[in-house]
Amino acid sequence: MVQAFAYLTGADEVRPEHLEVAQHCLWDDPGEQPQAAARVIARVANPTGMRVTQLLLEVEQVLAAADVRDLADAAKAAAKLAEIDRQLAGLKGNGRVDKARGYVKEQLKKLKLASIEAV
């Protein structure tokens, strides 16, 4: 399956990033730790993708905790989102990094607008 995935992505050989597809076929029973397998495979196969996922989860946590009516809190959240964007900018990768940066920038803009509207 990994070879087929590599072929379908245009590669002439299997590379570590192609292993990520294996997370979907290692267990027959859904209760057999597929999330653990996904994390291990992602760490080996696609460390950049795993870091992007971690940073996007952090974005969601920042947004959930932000109180746009409190300017100091909103400013802290905006600073954290800007820091996450800088971390994403430092990652070498594929289109997923670019999409993640676009999402973070959009959320930052929405946060600032909501903060201004709340005042």
pLDDT tens, residue by residue, 4-35: 989 998 999 998 888 878 766 766 666 665 56
Asked whether residue 52 falls in the same domain as residue 40, the answer is no
What is the overall mean pLDDT for the chain? 86
Asked whether residue 62 falls in the same domain as residue 78, the answer is yes
SS3 of the chain: the string is: CHHHHHHHCCCCCCCHHHHHHHHHCCCCCCCCCHHHHHHHHHHHHCHHHHHHHHHHHHHHHHHHHCCCCCHHHHHHHHHHHHHHHHHHHCCCCCHHHHHHHHHHHHHHHHHHHHHHHHC
Asked whether residue 51 falls in the same domain as residue 97, the answer is yes
pLDDT tens, residue by residue, 69-93? 999 999 999 999 999 999 999 998 6
Q: What is the pLDDT of residue 48?
A: 84
How many domains are there within the chain? 2
Asked whether residue 73 falls in the same domain as residue 96, the answer is yes
Asked whether residue 32 falls in the same domain as residue 75, the answer is no
pTM, to two decimals: 0.66
CA distance 61 to 35: 20
Domain that holds residue 23: 2-45
Asked whether residue 65 falls in the same domain as residue 40, the answer is no
Asked whether residue 60 falls in the same domain as residue 29, the answer is no
